[in-house]
Amino acid sequence: MEGDQLLLIYEYMENNSLACALFAKEKDQLKLAWSTRKKICIGIARGLAYLHEESRLKIVHRDIKATNVLLDKDLNPKISDFGLAKLKDDEYTHINTRIAGT
């Protein structure tokens, strides 16, 4: 790495994405109990609340979907793919002419 470039490094997510867990071919889907699904939803909500309210830099993700939620070995959700993210403070936001989300 040269200069003042930034780099994101993710931990290995053993259970791939929430999309794979829910929508993969039946043999590859994870059998998630409703209590586990609730735990995942609450984890996503906590992550978003942190990004919006608690983080030093307030971040709006702008592309939350099942493929952008990774699951670790204990099925804890981790929000990923901040390519469309925007800082809440107008002073530091960037201009993006692409349509947000997919």
Q: What is the DSSP string of 27-42?
A: TTS----HHHHHHHHH
Boundaries of every domain in the chain: 18-92
Is 60 exceeded by the pLDDT of residue 90? no
Q: What number is the average pLDDT over the span 6-31? A: 90
Beta strands in the chain, from DSSP E residues, in sequence order: 59-60, 69-71, 77-79, 86-87
Output the pLDDT for position 96: 54
Contacts of range 90-99, beta carbons closer than 8 Å, 24 or more positions apart? 92/57
Is 80 exceeded by the pLDDT of residue 20? yes
> What average pLDDT does the structure give for the chain?
86
pTM: 0.75
CATH match for 18-92 among 1.10.15.40, 1.10.510.10, 3.50.50.60, 1.10.150.110:
1.10.510.10
What proportion of the chain, given as a percentage, has pLDDT over 90?
A: 56
Q: Is 72 a catalytic residue?
A: no
Q: Which of 4, 28, 63, 72 is catalytic?
A: 63
Q: Rounded to the nearest 5°, which phi and psi values hold at 69?
A: -115, 115
